[in-house]
Amino acid sequence: MLWTSIKRVIKGGVVNFYRNGFVSLASVLIMTVTLFVIGSVLFLSATLTASLDEIKSKVDVNVYFLTSAKEEDILALAEALRTLPEVKDVEYVSREQALTDFKKRHEHDELTLQALEELPDNPLGAVLNVKAKEPSQYEGIAGFLKGDNALGGGTKTLIDEVNYYDNKVAIDKLSRILVSAEKLGFAAALMLVIISISIAFNTIRLAIYISREEIGVMRLVGASNKYIRGPFVVSGILYGITASLLTLALFYPLTYYLGDSLQNFFSGLNLFTYYLVHFGEFFLILVGSGIVLGAVSSFLAVRRYLNV
């Protein structure tokens, strides 16, 4: 008996979906726009994250050592830095590598290179390039480098300069910009999603309103509320599934067309490659959102606006 009722509800929902062709088409298109906005928000989040990560990767703290500092002491300090929870990466640049890099940067400056050749020894000390997980954590790392352990236990100074204090204003400003960008991006995405869901809900409400007389007849013959709501919820689910599949199909040529052209603009993120790699996630999110949106909208529309 229960299975028979379920089959009738499903059949009624499918019949409503195909019978009201124009209304179903309008509902599917509106839900496609809604799901397209949700998918676009996912792409926006990915591009924003990639851009912020690219900016973060360009920020670091350089620790310059005295030329008299021993390599083993510098490497020991590098290992101590790597144990800090704030530190993402530590790169060691030897004196020889620092000299090679200096010559490369000034390869067109003959006067500087000539003056360098006149010196009896390499004037450059080793360097540690320290990257934090977040820009706001550089101050704690700089504080550690000022401690006695970092400065050779108070017996012999290893560090010549830590450039954090020279760049503190820029790093602090960058930290505030990153936090503001994340909040603004989240707020804009949330607003777009809410507006789209509202439009989709009203479209489905209109589709159900057209069937108000049919619902009245069903109530007169004693149909239960669950039996009346069932076909409309099934139709809403079909709207969502159809719209989600259409949205997934639209994203394929769109990301393919925009992938290469936007790759450089978005810090090397290729939207087409990202879409293919994360297709499973997009499928689950869009299909799941479509089903939930269609079912919940239909359920609420029948209950609230038709007084079932």
Question: What are the tens digits of pLDDT across the range 57-74?
Answer: 667 788 888 888 888 888
Q: How confident is the model at residue 262 (pLDDT cuts 50, 70, 90)?
A: low
Residue 308 pLDDT: 47
Residue 284 pLDDT: 93
Burial 72-103 (b: 16+ CB within 10 A, else e): eebeebbebbeebebbeebeebebeebeeebe
Residues 187 and 290 in one domain: yes
The domain of 80 spans 67-157
Mean pLDDT computed over 45-67: 76
Q: Is residue 164 part of a domain?
A: no
Residues 184 and 245 in one domain: yes
Token look-up 């590098």 returns 78
Residues 124 and 7 in one domain: no
Q: Is residue 193 part of a domain?
A: yes
The pair of structure tokens assigned to 258 is 């925009």
Q: Is residue 29 part of a domain?
A: yes
Mean pLDDT computed over 71-89: 85
Residues 17 and 89 in one domain: no
Residues 146 and 286 in one domain: no
261 against 42, higher pLDDT = 42
Among residues 138, 164, 142, 161, the alpha carbon closest in space to that of 65 is found at 161
Query: 147: which DSSP letter?
Result: S
191 against 10, higher pLDDT = 191
Residues 186 and 301 in one domain: yes
Domain at 130, CATH number: 3.30.70.3040
Residues 264 and 234 in one domain: yes
Q: How confident is the model at residue 247 (pLDDT cuts 50, 70, 90)?
A: very high
Residues 193 and 298 in one domain: yes
Mean pLDDT computed over 154-183: 68
Q: Is residue 48 part of a domain?
A: yes
74 against 194, higher pLDDT = 74
Ranked by mean pLDDT, which of 49-63, 78-92, 161-175, 226-240 comes out on top?
A: 78-92
Helices (H) and strands (E) in the chain, counts: 11, 4
Residues 144 and 212 in one domain: no
Mean pLDDT computed over 106-120: 73
What is the total count of domains within the chain? 2
Mean pLDDT computed over 193-220: 70
Residues 264 and 189 in one domain: yes
Q: Is residue 61 part of a domain?
A: no
Burial 162-196 (b: 16+ CB within 10 A, else e): bebeeeeeebeebbeebeeeeeebeeebeebbeeb
Res 249 pLDDT > 90 = yes
> Which residues share a beta bridge with 255?
none
Residues 135 and 20 in one domain: no
Is the pTM for the entire model greater than 0.95? no
Residues 140 and 80 in one domain: yes
Mean pLDDT computed over 217-238: 73
Output the CA–CA distances (angstroms, integers) from residue 142 to 71, 125, 138, 235, in the order listed: 21, 19, 6, 61
Q: Is residue 163 part of a domain?
A: no
Q: Is residue 38 part of a domain?
A: yes
Q: Is residue 204 part of a domain?
A: yes
